[in-house]
Chain A
Amino acid sequence: MMTRESLLNWAMIAALLIVPLAAWSLDEPFIITLATKAAILALAGVGLNIALGLGGLISLGHAAFFGIGGYAMGILAAHAQNYEPLFNWPFLFEGSNQMPLIWLVAVVLSALAALVIGALSLRTSGVYFIMITLAFGQMLYYFAISWSAYGGEDGLSIWVRNEFPGLNTLDPIQFFAIAYVILCLALFFAARLAASPFGLALAAARQNEDRVEAVGLTPFKLRLAAFVISGAITGLAGALFADLNRFVSPTMLSWHTSGEIMIFVILGGVGRLYGPVAGAALYILLEHLLGGISDYWQIFLGVLLLLIVLFARGGLIGAIAGREKAHG
């Protein structure tokens, strides 16, 4: 049975494909780039939503994983373009301009970071958790600023976009295709995850921790696993985002980025699988439309966000599709 929400989900995913295709046939590369950006930011939101929507973990530190993914790309590509190995010992490790390898490194590193940050911050809950994830994210931000070997505050540029076997990644529509396919795979994965034994237990731990413990499951382990998966997906989005811009800087790690990723999730509707897609698309649209009218467009974004939080808690999808929930 097709609910209104799933109809809307399909419509969104289709629109995100049709708009850039139309732009391609009209030769409007800028619009393709905007759609690519929306797809990549939505991917970051899909990652966060696993922790936030499913697990109820209010992480204000997901920029850490986004930025680690970005720096994984930047550092590997910078070494590849300068023909300098990253390290020689204990084995030779060269830079790379191959996207699949870069993605693998980005996912592994951000998952590891999420494991460490999660293991520390999940010992706490409530406001402590929010503040601690924020603080750890900020720690990496300051670290990146002080790390002069990779550009410090100025960031790190690479000259050409990395390669994907069989595709010309410099062609906007082909790079869009990569981002879009990854987004669809991540959505598929997130949907399976939400319906899996793990998803059932994780979302139960959000609703009632005592119950989960009483049936012999450990909320901490469930949450840590969710946090790692969540961080890994956001890290992958970071690698793609850096590749889109051919640039990575500490800004990707700043807490504003964490806030923005959270905004994508919320604008769309918390806990809704496709919420980040709606949210990221809306965000890009607002940035583009309002940003054209006023340099201070973020005032409007702030007001809109405030109104949604105070008066329309289901977000965009909630407003259109009603109160039913995607998860659980």
Chain B
Amino acid sequence: MTYILVLEQILNGLQLGVMLFLMAAGLTLVFGVMGLINLAHGSLYMVGAFAAAAVAGWTGSFLLALIASLAAAAAAGALMELVVIRRLYRRDHLDQVLATFALILIFSEGTRWLFGSFPLFLDVPAYLSGPVSLPGGIEYPLYRLTIILIGLAIAAGLFLLIAKTRIGIQIRAGEADREMIAALGVDISKLYTLVFALGAALAGLAGALVGAIQSVQVGMGEPVLILAFVVIVIGGIGSIKGALAGALLVGLTDTLGGVFLPQLFALFMEPASAASAGASLASMLIYILMAAILLVRPSGLYGGSA
């Protein structure tokens, strides 16, 4: 009984982890290649979710909704890059923080203006709802399992893209030396727009996938953005491998901590205060994890020098 509960929670943690990876991958690529910190990445997550909800409401097709989330977020990302972001590559981090914070205000209020303040709902399609039996006698929601598989597939695809393709080689070269790849005749501004749009599309997809479990609303991207920051600080900024490791670590820690810490506290406290103390500690757990990792490795698990 309890081991089934534990396994179920581990799967939930994995599910959160792969979603965080989709967010963190874009952030860390953009930082690694362009040296840019983008606070507005959470807005792209939100754009993806809203696009999916709108298209699903229109056509009734979940698949089309997912495609719309990818397309809308990629387009918003490319636009963002062309209009604002590319003016920021040579600026200091303070300017990047402020300009992308301004973008959040514009995106959030703009979305509120277009869609109103009430949450939208994106339904899990019939063919993906309901539980599925896994070996070991676990009943687990099919949709969540699908999310995990999609996330892992994308992670694998991303590793392949970076390790094997021309674009991947250019991305890696860009991390090492911008002038070098410009000298090799790569159109660097096109490459940057492409990388940015790719990261945006992943964030948008994550927004749509999660939007079907939670609600689709303004500001939904920000808690995820901050978790994604924790992920890449833990993993090491610029490292895709680090993003994956960090995402899984954060996803598992957050999920398991939230469920089991109150139970742990209940062993030696009265139930009411155990629940609240456990919940309080659980809410801080990933930050404590981050602090602990930083004490040992200031530039993250897979980071070089910062």
Contact = CB atoms under 8 A, between A and B. Distances in A.
**Direct interface between A and B, CB < 8 A:** yes
B15 to A, nearest CB: 20
B287 A313 contact: no
B47 to A, nearest CB: 15
B214 interface: no
Interface stretch (B154-162, B175-183, B291-299): B291-299
Contacts of B233: 128, 131-132, 135
A146 B279 contact: yes
B276 A146 contact: yes
Contact of A139 (B84, B102, B284): B284
B279 to A, nearest CB: 5
A124 interface: yes
Interface size, A (range): 35 or more
Given A131-B232, A255-B222, A143 B108 contact: no
Nearest to A270: B94
B84 A310 contact: yes
A301 B276 CA distance: 38
B164 to A, nearest CB: 28
Interface in A113-131: 120, 123-128, 130-131
B294 A313 contact: no
A126 B306 contact: yes
A148 interface: yes
A1 to B, nearest CB: 30
Contact of B298 (A128, A303, A306): A128
Contacts of B110: 296, 299
A129 to B, nearest CB: 9
Contacts of B300: 128
B276 A120 contact: no
A138 B112 contact: no
Contacts of B284: 139, 142-143
A306 B102 contact: yes
B37 A302 contact: no
A149 interface: yes
Interface string A33-71: 000000000000000000010000010100000000000
B237 interface: yes
Interface in B235-269: 237
Given A120-B294, A139-B287, A306-B99, A127 B280 contact: no
B201 interface: no
Contacts of B58: none
A309 B102 contact: yes
B89 interface: no
A61 to B, nearest CB: 11
Interface in B187-243: 222, 226, 229-230, 232-233, 237
B299 A302 contact: no
A224 interface: no
Nearest to B287: A139
B306 A296 contact: no
A46 B284 CA distance: 29
A259 interface: yes
Given A135-B226, A255-B226, A262 B97 contact: yes
Contacts of B229: 131, 134-135
Contacts of A123: 294-295, 298
Given A266-B98, A306-B106, A310-B84, A127 B31 contact: yes
B265 to A, nearest CB: 13
20 contacts: A52-B94, A58-B94, A120-B291, A123-B294, A124-B294, A124-B299, A127-B31, A127-B93, A130-B37, A130-B97, A135-B226, A142-B284, A146-B283, A149-B276, A259-B104, A262-B98, A296-B109, A299-B105, A301-B105, A309-B99
Q: Which 8 A-B pairs have the closest CB atoms?
A: A302-B105, A139-B287, A302-B106, A142-B283, A305-B102, A306-B102, A131-B229, A299-B109
Given A134-B226, A296-B113, 10 more contacts: A60-B97, A124-B306, A128-B237, A128-B300, A131-B232, A143-B280, A146-B280, A149-B276, A299-B110, A305-B101
